[in-house]
Structure formats: structure tokens, C-alpha cells
Chain A
Amino acid sequence: MSTVLDTPASAETRGKPDIVLTGRRVVGGIAEGEALVTAETISGWGGVSPMTGTIIETRHELRGVSFAEKVLVFRGAKGSSGWSAVFHTSRLAGAAPRAMVFNEMTTKVALGCVVMRVPSVTELDGDPIALIDTGDYVRVNGDAGTVEVWKKR
């Protein structure tokens, strides 16, 4: 029973969102889930374990936390040019996020979103890191470039 109770209600049943942000499509498609938010950039190679989606970088505020099945809200990508290959591998391992929302566009994060094949948006009209908290329920519409947020009660 607990798995049923733990499953968050989908956006369909939640009514009007608390916040709607509009930006630009990076990768199309629609996905929703619980947010995992960090104001820090994320390293791919050497910073993430692709088999579990766990952030392993020493001193990262999300160290030990997995982004698998979450909507990952973050500042952007940093570090090695192996970024896309690590996130790509996380998709194969079933450990990718459901969607990506980020602030700073780079070739690393753009290619990573593409090969992860998850709805992704950037250039939003409000700062997603400030407005979205970990645990909020989020629906990302990559085609429309929108992010709908239901705040955690």
C-alpha cells in the first residue's frame, strides 16, 4: 500500500498551478514529477554516477542524492567534456531525470539534454532555482517551453 500512498498525485488532479514559468524549448515533450533543485552547477564525468544518477562530487550540496525520476532544476553544467556521455549513460541505466530545467546554456548541457531525450527548458521568465523547491510538483512542457509548479503543502 505504501507505494500507492507515496506516489504523488499527477498534474491532472491538482488544479491550477501555483506558478507558471515560460521560456524556451531545449528538448520537446511533456513530463512531470517531483523537483530536485540545486543552485549549483553539476559536473558529469567525475561528478555523477551514471548507474544510479547519484551526485558524487565532493562538496556538492546534493552529494549522495540521485536525480533519477526527478525533475532536475539546476544552474547548469560544468567540468569535463564527458558531460553528455555520462548523462546519456544514465538514461540507458534507467537513472535519468524525467525532465530538465536550467538557467545557463552551454554546449555541455544542450547536448546532454538532447541525448537524454527528456523534456528540457531554459531562459525562463522567472528564476526556477529561487521559485521551485525540492519536493514541489512540476510539469515541464518542452514543446511550449513552460514549467508549471505546484508548491509542496
Chain B
Amino acid sequence: MVTLTSEEKAMLDGEQGAATQKAMELLVRYAEALDADRFVETNNVAGVPGSATPWLKNYYAEQGGDYRAVFSMFDLDADEVVDIPRMNAYSCHLQGGMDPVLWAEQGMTPEAHENFMSDEREVAGHGIQLLKTCTPYIAGNVPVMGEHCAWMESSAVVFCNSVIGARTNTEGRESTSAAMLAKRIPDWGFHRPEYRYGHHKIDVQIPVEDIFDWGMLGYFVGDAVQESIPVIEGPVGKASLIRHKHFGAAAASSGGVEMYHMVGITPEARTAETAFGANKIGQTFVYDHAARKRIYESLNSVGSSTDVDYVMLGCPHYSIEQIAQAAHMLEGRKVSSNSALWIFTSRAVKATADANGYSKIITDAGGYLMTDTCSAISQAVPKGTKVAALDSAKQVHYLPAMMGIEGWYGTTAECIDAACSGKWNGRLAA
């Protein structure tokens, strides 16, 4: 049974309004399902509040079919429609379904775009920040060590826990929407210190330094440990935001990794002993040249034709550092008439790319710099795409399977070469 504070009881009694009451009712059902004893307070919530397809709005047509109806009956799972006030917690909206400007290029209809704009006005009107990205931590929402968050998006969750040392479970749409109103989330899982210790050891025996290799190591780790917490030891170097971003997204795709420790690198792993804490070391998985080769082949198992007609970069959304690198590689070149190049980022990062002239370099080369979404989330690829080249282990895990296309995994430089030549020439350097 979950124990409630007097403020939480007051919320349940409706003293903070009907919407917060419905939010608290859902959170109590959720806490009881988890067998949590209590709630933690959170003032950092990232979700997809109230955004709905026309199907969902139509389902609630009798209840008004609007944002209010969807938020009440779907997000809060309530049996009646209530007024939805401005959110109480610091809240942001994660990635969405299309680019706000280049939606027609993505193949979206004017009706779908109008639905998107209508939701966006509501989100803004409810005080939810329109970060529109899978990387809130590089678009204006950086938690601090130990902060209790309620985040969706597996790649953001693993970054939040592992790299920052903030605390979140992989929340869902309904729990984040409710937390935006009630500022509470069940005290379970990654909110509790004892849950955050490592389970298995990853023995890295070869140098892992560039972002391409960090991605492959992440994919190996997720496949090895599945949903548990790995402790990575060995010559993993040149740690940086973009390397962690790629590593975590990969580990959360091949497995369900929500937190990892890198000894001497991540904040809760000053030593292997602190990383494992009270836990006994479970299995040990060795990452060596043979394992690296096996992962490369696995990531490239869905590629056979070398005629690349689509290159997608920006999974998770590119940082300004990555956009600058891509722009430098593209400068003075042209995307092949047989291919296409779409690069995805957040609106905040794109504003900087615009100011720096990177957006113009990409556009002049015949590529697009897009925001809000990616090809997997929007299920939008250039018309007729058969073979994609990707520099993200996560995206090559999802996109070819979702869209029924072939896919190649390589370095950013190999992907940009493929966009400019229309040919895949990737290979695994020793």
C-alpha cells in the first residue's frame, strides 16, 4: 500500500482541482501496480502530453474530440472530461511527428500538419516547453545529479541516469502527463539508491575512442546484459556528450539498458566497487576484436545493395558539434541525384546551426536539416527509398525493420560519402 502525505491526500480529495485529482488517482493505481511504498516529488517531467492522432481524437468525438478530452480520458485515463490547467511541474514535450516547416517534404498532408499545429498550440498554452526532441538534455533541460525526474524516451532515460546521475525510470505517456500536474512519481526502481548498482561486468579489451566505436560497444552491451545494469571497464576513452548519447541509445535498443556504469567515467562509478555496491558481480562479457567484428556484421546484416538512396543522420538528435562536423564534411559537395540526405536535430540546436551558417551549407549541398522528429518516429523517408545509410546503431536497429528497407551502419564520413556518391563504401577499419 502506498502511503500518502497530507498534500497528496489533499490532491486526491480534489483540493488542487479536478485535473490534479485525476492525475493523482492514476498515479496511485500505478504505484500500487508497482508495489511502491510512497511517491517522490519531481519538478522535471518529459513526455508527449496530449498529442494525438486524428484516430484518437475521433475516438473521443462524443466527449468533444479536443485536447481537453484526449488529455483527460487518454493521458489521465479518467472516466470523464475535466478542465486541464497549466501544468504544475517544469515540463517539456519530447519528439513529435513531423518537421514544423518541412512537413510537405516529409510527405505529410496539410490536414496532418493542421492537427500537429493545433496540438502544439495546446501544449504551449498549457505551459509545456516545446523542446520537441529526444535529447532534452542538449535543448535546455539538463537535470542535476540526484534530481528525481519523470522522463520518457529510452535514450534520454539512460543518459539521465548514467551520465548525469539524475534519477528516472522509463516512464510512459500517462505517468508523465499525470506527473506534470501532480509533481509526483512512484518511489520505485531508479529513484532508489540500492536499485542503481551494477549487475554484470563488461571487460573491454580493445581501445574504444571514436563515436562509431562507442555506438558498437553500446550495441554489444545491450545485447549482452538486456535489461540489467552493466559495469564497463577497460580502455574506453575520449568520453564526451555525443559518445555517451550514441552509446546509451544503442544499449537501450539491442537491450533495455536504463543505466550503465563506466568505471572512472560516469558519476556513480568512481571505482568498480562503488559501481557494484552491495551487488555480487554477475556474468563477465568480453569485448574484443572478434566481438567488435561480430557487432559490425550484425548491424550491417540488413544491407545488401550498395546503391544508397537515403542517408539519415541525427539519431538521437544531432548536437551542434555533430552538425558542425557534418557541415564541414559536406562543404563544397553535392548530394547525389540518386540519393537524399536528411539530418535531424532539435529546434534549439537548429537555431544555432542557422546562426553559424551550417544549415545553409547543408541546404546548398542539397540536404535538409530537420527538427522535431526522425524517420523512425514519423515513419517518413524520401519517396521510393530502398536502401538507407545510417551512423546510428539505434536507427539501423529500428528503421529498416519498420519501413521494410535495407540499411547500412557506418561512420558519419562514410554516410556523407554515400549521400554524395549514391554508393556505399563502408568497411570496418582495424
Contacts and interface: CB of A to CB of B under 8 A. Distances in A.
A84 B75 CA distance: 10
A83 to B, nearest CB: 6
Interface in A80-122: 80-85, 88-89, 92, 104-108, 110-115, 117, 120
5 contacts: A111-B33, A111-B172, A111-B174, A113-B33, A114-B26
Given A79-B256, A81-B172, A82-B172, A104 B227 contact: yes
B122 interface: no
B87 interface: no
B56 A112 contact: no
Nearest to B170: A81
Given A107-B175, A113-B33, A114-B26, A92 B170 contact: no
A120 B33 contact: yes
Given A81-B152, A84-B174, A107-B170, A58 B401 contact: yes
Contacts of A89: 56
A87 B256 CA distance: 18
A88 B171 contact: no
Contact of B34 (A46, A58, A88, A107): A107
Task: Name the prevailing secondary structure of the B interface residues.
Answer: helix
B59 A114 contact: no
B220 to A, nearest CB: 17
B33 A27 contact: yes
Contacts of A83: 172
A112 B35 CA distance: 15
A105 B36 CA distance: 12
A11 B34 CA distance: 29
A68 interface: no
Contacts of B171: 81, 107, 111
A151 interface: no
Categorize the interface residue count of chain B: 20 to 34
B94 to A, nearest CB: 9
A26 interface: yes
Interface string B53-91: 000100100000000000000100100000000000000
B174 A92 contact: no
Contacts of A112: 172
Interface in B229-272: 256
Contacts of A115: 77, 174
A70 B428 CA distance: 47
B300 interface: no
A46 B398 contact: yes
Contacts of A113: 33
Contacts of B77: 88, 114-115, 117
Q: Quick one: which of A24, A27, A80, A120 has the most chain B CB within 10 A?
A: A80
Q: Quick one: which of A83, A84, A89, A120 has the most chain B CB within 10 A?
A: A84
